[in-house]
Amino acid sequence: MDERGLNIFNNLERMKIGLDDKFKFECHMCAKCCLHRDDVLLNPKDIYNAAKELNLTTGEFVEKYCEAYIGSDSRIPIVRLKPRGSVHRCPLLKDRKCMVHRSKPTVCAMYPIGRCVILAGKTAADIDMDSVQYIFNKPDCRGSDGPETHTVREWLESFGIPIGDKFFILWQKSVTKVGSAFREIEKKISEETMEILWNAAFVGLYLHYKTELDFMSQFEENVQNFTTMLHSTFGDMLEGRE
């Protein structure tokens, strides 16, 4: 878990906020929060949206602006924007403006609100909208002086992020299920085979999209194909697991 993730985990109770709770925030568009960024993680929808806005394929976008690594806890491929220079500038910051302003990564669009899933002993199959928890990450900048006041519900709606976000739930189910399977499989196969499996997950879940086609139907098909392959190839190692 990175430093920001650890901070949120340790302060979760204090940072929790309800959908109709109010918070004070007014962004001054100074772009300071796009510097010193090592933690802008992208999900497949973020990659699809940004690639589409920049008229690139998802593969070209990831190669140009991102890097992938295996999560130390989750054991699945994670994709993040690769910071540049000594100030760790977001690679999508140009002339103090976001190059994908209309389709910013979800974590940037929602900021200073964050969203996570509380598993509390649940399996992937149990994850639903009731498992979603919102957090208010008080910005360390002029934005926190207000004076604008918002509810979480209004804030998300203003950025076109649905409250009942079907993609978010399916993505959380998928990473929980695939992560659990990978942690089990990793104990039993060689490092070389695991590398092949990680690469298949990276390509199959994050890159295998055509930006001229609808995202959600491709995502559902990719998840279905990958989990089917996982169970048909490694089913004996996963018996009795989610």
- Per-residue binder mask for ligand SF4 (CB under 6 A), 98-137, x = binder: x-----xx--x-----------------------------
Q: Per rule CB under 6 A, is residue 62 in the interface with ligand SF4?
A: no
Count the Cβ atoms, other than its own, within 10 Å of residue 223: 19
User: Which tokens is 205 given?
Assistant: 């879940």
Q: Per rule CB under 6 A, is residue 161 in the interface with ligand SF4?
A: no
Query: Smallest distance from the beta carbon of 51 to ligand SF4, in angstroms?
Result: 13
Q: DSSP strand E in the chain: where?
A: 16-17, 22-24, 41-42, 66-70, 77-81, 93-94, 97-98, 113-117, 132-136, 149-151
Of 83 and 204, the one with the shorter C-beta distance to ligand SF4 is 83
Query: Smallest distance from the beta carbon of 145 to ligand SF4, in angstroms?
Result: 9
Of 76 and 90, the one with the shorter C-beta distance to ligand SF4 is 90
Q: Per rule CB under 6 A, is residue 141 in the interface with ligand SF4?
A: yes
At residue 116, what are phi and psi to the nearest 5 degrees? -145, 170
Q: Which stretch binds ligand SF4 (CB under 6 A): 86-94, 127-135, 180-188, 226-234?
A: 86-94
Dist CA 186 CA 181 (whole Å): 8
**Residue where the block lists tokens 């497949």:** 44
Q: Per rule CB under 6 A, is residue 45 in the interface with ligand SF4?
A: no
At residue 37, what are phi and psi to the nearest 5 degrees? -110, 115
Residues across the chain: 242
Q: Per rule CB under 6 A, is residue 93 in the interface with ligand SF4?
A: yes
Residues in touch with ligand SF4 (CB under 6 A): 27-34, 37, 40, 90, 92-93, 98, 104-105, 108, 139, 141-143
